[in-house]
Structure 1
């Protein structure tokens, strides 16, 4: 499971890339979504690589993001009481593990698929360059967890 975060804004985006970002539900800067690791999503990520960053998320980071930034349809926060009453999961850890293993999707429990994150503490490394050049864009692997924790 990948966590994808939009880093750059909308000014001057080519139409094909803009539609790809829209299909990924990344409409604004600092929005994040979870996507599966399959060839179609990998192609979309490669197409939009100059505007996003992504990597493999671990259960601990996903738990923190759901707890702090997860919202239900309608804007209410997700609570452990809600999870116990309306789902088969009693804690954020169980929900995060189920999402990572592909046992359920966010929409199954009435959760919004987009996480609206804060800008990262201490800022991005450079929003016009790739990770390989010392910037923030592109595939970052396990390092996405440290960025997501700075943004939660």
Structure 2
């Protein structure tokens, strides 16, 4: 299974561990997206940066849309989402009504709004 990881928040006042994790994931800017394999090491990295990114399992249709957008790099730079991230913005977890953390299959809707 593949996961799509989208960076939601910026890079001001981050600790060195968080910056290094973003570097390993390949998420250098806000609104950038990367598709990774689901493994325990990736889950650990996502747990470390869960207050700055959102992720979920991605389907084949969305993967093909992303590959049309960028063919050279593994990082896709996207637009901000149409109609925003959600009800409570980018400072709350998804299960509490915000935009951060694990959102499961709903990541596909978010990525389609960002293309």
TM-score by length of 1: 0.72
Aligned equivalents of 1:130, 1:137: Cα separation in 2: 4
Q: CA deviation at 1:118?
A: 0.7
**1:116 equivalent in alignment to 2:77:** yes
**Aligned partners of 1:35, 1:118: CA distance in 2, in Å?**
20
Q: Distance in 1 between matches of 2:97 and 2:13?
A: 23
Task: Spell out, residue by residue over 1:13-70, the C-alpha distance to the aligned partner (whole angstroms, 9 max, x if none).
Answer: 1211111011101010010001111100000000000100000000111111211x21
- What is the CA–CA distance in structure 1 between the aligned matches of 2:19 and 2:50, rounded to whole Å? 12
Determine the C-alpha separation between the residues in 1 that align with 2:19 and 2:106.
25
* 1:58 to 2:59 alignment: yes
Quote the residue 1:14 is aligned against.
Answer: 15
Aligned length: 112
Q: Give distance in 1, aligned partners of 2:107 and 2:63.
A: 11
**1:71 positional shift:** 3.0
Structure 2 stretches lacking a partner, 5+ long: none
SS at match of 2:11: coil
Query: CA separation in 1, counterparts of 2:62 and 2:55?
Result: 14
User: Which has more strand, going by share of residues?
Assistant: 2
Q: Give runs of aligned pairs for residues 3-152 of structure 1, distance below 5 A.
A: 3-67=4-68, 69-72=69-72, 112-125=73-86, 126-152=89-115
TM-score normalised according to structure 2 size: 0.94
Supply the distance in 2 between the matched residues of 1:133 and 1:146 (Cα, whole angstroms).
18
Structure (1 or 2) with the larger CA radius of gyration: 1
Q: Which runs of 5+ in 1 are unaligned?
A: 73-111
State the distance in 2 between where 1:132 and 1:43 align: 19
- Offset, 1:115: 0.5
